[in-house]
């Protein structure tokens, strides 16, 4: 009512008119876009929640201290037995060793790119890092196998081969994320250190790396999460095994993703009706429980990364 | 402590671009020398050549000599890192290390160089330096708080404390108060007046009143046009420069007719 009178009485639009005229079109667009964005977020959340829920529902029953403590040694048929101890050991050892290879190489490469690299070589390194990011994991597995086959002959399978395959996948991720973090360190801090008569190498270690530490740790953890679920390259380089192997340099090893794959592959057990201790779906149950454990390990790693990042974070009051 | 710096026929290049040409000047010990001039005239570049900080940029180089106590800072056997320990620098924007506390920031020159220092010596050095930077009273009860928790003006004085904790001969200041409010600026200017009893100070400033207030001698830099190198036009006692400069361009700049 007020707007119509305002519009009809004053020939040039009054201030009140200009300020209160309803812009229905803009408000409508705003509301629609808000809805679209929220909807997209919810849709993106559905598979994630559904995945975690399914893993919980299907895997929780079989998950027990016993399941974590034993291997699959001597387990056959539909026996209500067997666990993933060997696969947890394998996953932690192989992924840890892969990180041990990738983090120094990746971090030093990032330092070279940010602090020293200029011109052609730096551009070439960046290009090849990008190419490496896109390498299919099965190719990395074949590469590691072929590399070790040169020295140990065909059919070579042990933990370190798998770790090398994973590190091929992991290194470019470490380089990329560390590079971003190092570039975020303000140049003023480097200059402040130089002006105090601190040599470049000490400036890099004590100022640049220290300032970027939180981000670098997060990046490394993301890189670990990226490779901890790899299956294909480990199937080639580690093979499968039912018993525990702590030695990265001799003998096959089991990892959680390969375990899940193998259990699922074995499928339903044909139980005879008179077999009381035979569980037909035992393989599926074990696969789901192992998948749940893998998710939990990744979750714990992320929590750990957050804790370490908080520890390193700048500007805390001690 | 303080040393004389003698610059002779200095040219500064970035790659093939000549940024500063043909500067000769004498910087007196225990005095404040102000460098003024319009933006892009090379005064900051020149300042950074005095402690070889400009070399941090790839392709930067100089021709000519910079003598401190008779030693050419650009001599073949001179280590730029050692030069920077003798000639400290304070930057335009306060840049305390964000991962360090107030006390750790003051000790940065020692700790970052992996030098060992006893706890009592460290405490003495922190107090001395913060007292020297007129900051001790304000922070003595919170030395372990992060340096970034201070106000801008306090951060800048923390940076000055950090610079003098290395016990340099010369302090270079690149527009040290241009990011600060008038009260903090006054605190910095008072501090400069005290510091000149012990150090040779060179300060770049855009603020002509500041140059007139704090400096004993003033050097005016100017640039003929874009792409041309900056040159030292005139250098004299500050009082003379601001009352009866001998070059017309200086008078035009100081009276605000350009720049």
Check whether residue A48 and residue A189 sit in a common domain. no
Using 50, 70 and 90 to split pLDDT, how confident is the model at A2? very low
A193 touches chain B (CB under 8 A): yes
Res B164 pLDDT > 50 = yes
Res A9 pLDDT > 60 = no
Paired sense of beta strands B5-14 and B17-27, if any: antiparallel
Task: Among B56, B93, B108, select the one facing A196 at the smallest CB separation.
Answer: B108
CB contact under 8 A, A318 and B114: no
A207 touches chain B (CB under 8 A): yes
Res B59 pLDDT > 90 = no
Cβ proximity of B139 and B101 under 8 Å: no
Per-residue pLDDT, A314: 65
Nearest chain A residue (CA) to B167:
A196
Q: Is residue A129 part of a domain?
A: yes
- Partnered with residue B101 across adjacent β-strands are B146
DSSP class per residue in chain B: ----EEEEEEEEEETTEEEEEEEEEEE-TTSEEEEE-STTSSHHHHHHHTTT-GGGSTTEEEEEEEEETTEETTSTT--HHHHHHHEEEE-SS----TTSBHHHHHTHHHHTTT----HHHHHHHHHHHHHHTT-HHHHTT-TTSBGGGS-HHHHHHHHHHHHHTT--SEEEEESTTTTS-HHHHHHHHHHHHHHTTTSEEEEE-S-HHHHHHH-SEEEEEEESSTTSPEEEEEEEEHHHHHHS-SSHHHHHHHTTS--
CB contact under 8 A, B84 and A191: no
Cβ proximity of A164 and A95 under 8 Å: no
Check whether residue A97 and residue A203 sit in a common domain. yes
**pLDDT, tens digit, for every residue of B210-249?**
999 999 999 999 988 888 899 999 999 999 999 999 999 8
Using 50, 70 and 90 to split pLDDT, how confident is the model at A11? low
Rounded distance, CA B156 to CA B180, Å? Answer: 9
Share of chain B above pLDDT 70, in %: 99
Task: Among A191, A196, A315, select the one facing B146 at the smallest CB separation.
Answer: A315
B11 φ, ψ to 5°? -115, 140
Tokens of B161: 């404390």
Using 50, 70 and 90 to split pLDDT, how confident is the model at A285? very high
Per-residue pLDDT, A315: 57
Check whether residue A145 and residue A39 sit in a common domain. no
A318 touches chain B (CB under 8 A): yes
Burial A150-175 (b: 16+ CB within 10 A, else e): eeeeeebbbbbbbbbbbbbbbbbbbb
Tokens of B98: 């964000």
Size of interface A-B (CB pairs under 8 A): 90
Res B43 pLDDT > 50 = yes
A116 touches chain B (CB under 8 A): no
Angle at A277 between CA A275 and CA A281, to 5 degrees: 95
Using 50, 70 and 90 to split pLDDT, how confident is the model at B172? very high
The mean pLDDT value for A36-61 works out to 95
Mean pLDDT, chain B, rounded, equals 91
Rounded distance, CA A247 to CA B174, Å? Answer: 60
CB contact under 8 A, B97 and A195: no
CB within 8 Å of B17: residues ≥ 6 apart: B227
A291 φ, ψ to 5°? -60, -40
B81 φ, ψ to 5°? -65, -40
Rounded distance, CA B128 to CA B135, Å? Answer: 10
Check whether residue A123 and residue A101 sit in a common domain. yes
Res A75 pLDDT > 70 = yes
Per-residue pLDDT, A17: 84
User: B34: burial class by Cβ within 10 Å (0-12, 13-18, 19+)?
Assistant: buried
Q: Could you tell me the residue range of the domain that residue A37 belongs to?
A: 24-59
Per-residue pLDDT, A6: 47
Total domains, chain A: 2
Q: Which residues of A touch B148 (CB under 8 A)?
A: 314-315
Q: Is residue A82 part of a domain?
A: yes
Share of chain A above pLDDT 70, in %: 95
Output the pTM of the full model: 0.84
Q: How far is CA B231 from CA A38, B59, B211, B237, B255, in A?
A: 60, 20, 19, 18, 20
**pLDDT, tens digit, for every residue of A162-208?**
999 999 999 999 999 999 999 999 999 999 999 999 999 999 999 99
Q: Is residue A297 part of a domain?
A: yes
The mean pLDDT value for B38-51 works out to 91
Per-residue pLDDT, A119: 83
Check whether residue A54 and residue A165 sit in a common domain. no
Res B64 pLDDT > 90 = yes
Q: How far is CA A240 from CA A66, A255, B141, in A?
A: 21, 8, 63
- According to DSSP, residue A318 is labeled -
Tokens of A200: 């470049």
Cβ proximity of B149 and A315 under 8 Å: yes
**pLDDT, tens digit, for every residue of B5-34?**
999 999 999 988 999 999 999 999 999 999
For domain B5-96+170-254, give the CATH number.
3.40.50.300
User: Which residue, chain included where needed, has tokens 């190092």?
Assistant: A182
B120 touches chain A (CB under 8 A): no
B231 touches chain A (CB under 8 A): no
CATH number of A267's domain:
1.10.3720.10
Check whether residue A169 and residue A267 sit in a common domain. yes
Q: Which residues of A touch B162 (CB under 8 A)?
A: 192, 196
Per-residue pLDDT, A16: 86
Q: Is residue A15 part of a domain?
A: no
A121 touches chain B (CB under 8 A): no
Check whether residue A38 and residue A82 sit in a common domain. no
Angle between helix axes A282-312 and A209-228 (nearest 10 degrees) is 180
Check whether residue A193 and residue A260 sit in a common domain. yes
A184 touches chain B (CB under 8 A): no
Check whether residue A31 and residue A151 sit in a common domain. no
Predicted complex ipTM: 0.89
Tokens of A103: 């983090």
Nearest chain B residue (CA) to A117:
B58
The mean pLDDT value for A272-286 works out to 87
A251: left (phi over 0), alpha (psi -120 to 50) or beta: left
Check whether residue A247 and residue A170 sit in a common domain. yes
Angle between helix axes A209-228 and A159-184 (nearest 10 degrees) is 140
Nearest Cα to A287, choosing from A48, A67, A137? Answer: A67
User: A11: burial class by Cβ within 10 Å (0-12, 13-18, 19+)?
Assistant: exposed
Check whether residue A100 and residue A171 sit in a common domain. yes
Per-residue pLDDT, B1: 57
Q: Is residue A44 part of a domain?
A: yes
Q: Is residue A11 part of a domain?
A: no
Q: Which residues of B touch A317 (CB under 8 A)?
A: 144-146, 149
What is the domain partition of chain B in residue ranges? Answer: 5-96+170-254
Nearest chain A residue (CA) to B115:
A198
């Amino acid at each position: 009512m007020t707007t119509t009178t305002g519009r009809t009485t004053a020939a040039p639009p009054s201030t009140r008119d200009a300020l209160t005229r309803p812009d229905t079109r803009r408000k409508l667009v705003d509301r629609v876009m808000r809805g679209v964005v929220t909807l997209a977020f919810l849709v993106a959340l559905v598979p994630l929640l559904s995945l975690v829920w399914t893993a919980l529902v299907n895997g929780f029953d079989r998950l027990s201290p016993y399941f974590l403590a034993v291997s699959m040694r001597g387990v056959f048929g539909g026996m209500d037995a067997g666990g993933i101890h060997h696969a947890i050991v394998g996953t932690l050892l192989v992924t840890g060793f892969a990180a041990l290879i990738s983090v120094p190489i990746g971090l030093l490469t990032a330092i070279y790119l940010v602090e020293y690299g200029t011109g052609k070589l730096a551009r070439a390194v960046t290009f090849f890092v990008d190419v490496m990011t896109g390498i299919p994991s099965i190719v990395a597995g074949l590469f590691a196998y072929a590399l070790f086959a040169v020295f140990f002959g065909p059919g070579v399978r042990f933990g370190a081969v798998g770790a090398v395959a994973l590190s091929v996948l992991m290194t470019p991720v470490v380089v990329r994320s560390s590079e971003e973090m190092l570039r975020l360190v303000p140049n003023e801090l480097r200059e402040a250190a130089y002006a105090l008569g601190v040599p470049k190498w000490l400036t890099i270690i004590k100022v640049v790396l220290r300032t970027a530490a939180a981000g670098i740790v997060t990046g490394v953890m993301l890189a670990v999460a990226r490779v901890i679920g790899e299956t294909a390259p480990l199937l080639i380089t580690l093979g499968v095994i039912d018993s525990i192997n702590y030695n990265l340099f001799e003998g096959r090893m089991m990892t959680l993703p390969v375990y899940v794959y193998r259990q699922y592959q074995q499928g339903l057990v044909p139980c005879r009706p008179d077999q009381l201790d035979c569980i037909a779906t035992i393989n599926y149950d074990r696969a789901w429980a192992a998948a749940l454990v893998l998710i939990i390990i990744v979750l714990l790693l992320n929590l750990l990364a957050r804790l370490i990042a908080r520890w390193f974070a700048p500007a805390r009051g001690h | 402590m303080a040393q004389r710096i003698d610059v002779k026929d200095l040219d500064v290049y970035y790659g093939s671009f000549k940024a500063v040409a043909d500067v000769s000047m004498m910087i007196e010990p225990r005095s404040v020398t102000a460098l003024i001039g319009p933006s892009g005239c090379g005064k900051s570049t020149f300042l950074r050549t005095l402690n070889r900080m400009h070399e941090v940029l790839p392709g930067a180089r100089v021709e000519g000599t910079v003598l401190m106590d008779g030693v050419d800072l650009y001599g073949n056997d001179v280590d730029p890192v050692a030069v920077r320990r003798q000639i400290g620098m304070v930057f335009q924007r306060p840049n305390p290390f964000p991962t360090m506390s107030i006390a750790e920031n003051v000790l940065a020159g020692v700790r970052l160089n992996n030098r060992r220092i006893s706890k009592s010596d460290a405490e003495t050095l922190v107090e001395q330096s913060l007292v020297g930077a007129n900051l001790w009273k304000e922070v003595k009860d919170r030395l372990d708080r992060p340096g970034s928790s201070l106000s801008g003006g306090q951060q800048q004085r923390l940076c000055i404390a950090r610079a003098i904790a290395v016990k340099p001969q010369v302090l270079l200041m690149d527009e040290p108060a241009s990011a600060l409010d008038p009260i903090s600026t006054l605190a910095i200017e008072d501090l400069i007046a005290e510091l000149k009893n012990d150090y040779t100070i060179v300060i770049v400033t855009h603020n002509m009143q500041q140059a007139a207030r704090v400096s004993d001698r003033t050097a005016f830099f100017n640039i003929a046009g874009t792409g041309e190198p900056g040159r030292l036009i005139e250098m004299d006692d500050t009082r003379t420069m601001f009352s009866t400069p001998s070059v017309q361009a200086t008078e035009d700049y100081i009276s605000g007719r350009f720049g």
